[in-house]
Structure 1
Amino acid sequence: MLRSILGLILTSALTATAFQASQQVFQEEDYFEQNLYEAPSCNNTLLSCHWNGRVDSCCTPKYGLVVLTLQWVPGFGPDKEFTIHGLWPDTCSGGRAPGNGCDRSRVANNIGNIVRDMDPSLHSEMSTFWPSYKGDNNWFWSHEWNKHGTCISTLRPSCYGKEYTKYQDVTAYFKQALELRHYYDLFGALNLAGVIPGQTYNVQTMIEPLEKYVGAKIKMDCDRKGQLSEVSMFFYVEGRDKYKITDAFQKGNCRGAVWYPKKY
């Protein structure tokens, strides 16, 4: 209850200035060529998309609206858990970041091996909560990192200074997505509202308890047959990595009756 109240208060404050903020031009300092030993000193209270003047993109995301999209795919992941599709940095007006990623120098096609070698427990967690329904986890994770992870400006190696170790940015991206997924237990919120898999519900019967739980409007998407497929939550970022939920910038495509299938 307290989290919902705080979330609603924050959402009201953020959305009141969102339009004005989205019109501001992001002017970032050029830190791409800085010495790795010169990590910037950051203001940890700066809220993404609410900039004034020049800002350091090591201290606040250049693409400051971040979308966490969770999937509900029968046959994949634990039967009482939503799994991750991706964590996507977008523009402050709700548009997409570059479709081909933002840093070709950090593109990798072996993310599965990189994560497993760096952090076996993280790899195991990703295998459970971030599986590819196409059966190729490495391809899926590499795609998400190359297209989306490289667009989170606060994860650039130069932003870490002398403390940076190779692929620290990669593991940080996946850990952040997993932490958000664990914090927002969407299955639990639906279950408490009496919405359980294996039945059909009116779309509002599903959306309302979720929005009450997270404290903001969500985006819910269905497939062509009206089956639940994804739920997206939108965030601003305070400082480098404190995610603050706000209302979804787009509406999902679920309409009328929504089929909420069992996983297994």
Structure 2
Amino acid sequence: MNSTYSFFVKLVLVQCLVIACASQVYDFFYLVQQWPGSYCDTSQGCCYPTTGKPATNFSIHGLWPNYDNGSYPSNCDSNDPFDLSEISDLQSKMQVSWPSLSCPSSDDTSFWSHEWNKHGTCSESVLTEHAYFQAVLNLKSKANVLQTLKNAGIQPNGGFYSLTSIKSAIKGGLGYNSWIECNTDTSGNYQLYQIYLCVDYYGSSFIECPVLPTGYCASSIKFPTF
């Protein structure tokens, strides 16, 4: 094997490795927001954070990297754990937009830590910890889901609304399709629990979802009060 050919083969192998590694990062994000009334209206119940009852609004669950084939990476870098000091300037906004409702009551930081360690570290080649949390706050602000639903006459008043009308309202208001996750209340009624919107690779703009999660919702679902 002459030196020129050997160099060419090595170059091709390096390029293939780079492409393979790059393809393993992620393809897009799910921005997941949850309705606190549905989180709390289950047999498990909820606990308000130590800062008090959260706002009557959809709150952030997370920004989750995903692959176009429906799978997703997780816990990508144990060497870059959550550091609260990195987002000290965002903390007050996050307490409003990203509260923890799990029990026992907490100051929310364990929730944020879990989201960064499991999901955020998989996007750190594009978004630092601060950039990741700032991106989520920006996206939530862009997607004012509650107001979008209210504009279509869909209110969190304990009433039942068709799943189709909810999806249509979000599509009409935001310009993109969504995926709705339901849970069940203490009486077994399906209710509006989480709304998934898809976000581009850079965590900056909404896109049409390359693939949707799976799960079941009834054709008519409850939108509980909070």
The verdict on how the C-alpha distance between 1:256 and 1:235 changes in structure 2, with shifts beyond 3 A counting, is: same
Secondary structure in structure 2 of the residue aligned to 1:105:
coil
Match of 2:76 among 95, 102, 123: 102
Distance 1:210 1:70 in 2: 13
1:182 and 2:145 matched: no
Instruction: Give the root-mean-square deviation of aligned CA atoms.
Output: 2.5
Q: Between Structure 1 and Structure 2, how many residues are aligned?
A: 189
Match of 1:141 among 112, 119, 137: 112
Which is greater in Rg?
2
Distance 1:142 1:195 in 2: 33
Paired residues of 1:211 and 1:217 also in contact (CA < 8 A):
yes
Secondary structure in structure 2 of the residue aligned to 1:106:
coil
Distance 1:242 1:211 in 2: 18
Secondary structure in structure 1 of the residue aligned to 2:114:
helix
State the shift of 1:203 in Å. Answer: 1.3
Distance 2:73 2:94 in 1: 24
TM-score (norm. length: structure 2): 0.75
Distance 2:160 2:204 in 1: 36
Aligned to 2:87: 115
**Which amino acid is the alignment partner of residue 210 of structure 1?**
I
Paired residues of 1:62 and 1:153 also in contact (CA < 8 A):
no
Secondary structure in structure 1 of the residue aligned to 2:170:
helix
Aligned to 1:207: 167
Aligned to 2:94: 126
State the shift of 1:66 in Å. Answer: 0.6
Structure 1 residue runs of 5 or longer lacking an equivalent are: 1-25, 30-53, 157-168
Aligned-pair identity (%)? 27
Structure 2 residue runs of 5 or longer lacking an equivalent are: 1-14, 38-47
Paired residues of 1:219 and 1:231 also in contact (CA < 8 A):
yes
Distance 1:205 1:97 in 2: 33
**Which amino acid is the alignment partner of residue 235 of structure 1?**
V
TM-score (norm. length: structure 1): 0.65
Secondary structure in structure 2 of the residue aligned to 1:258:
strand
1:64 and 2:27 matched: yes
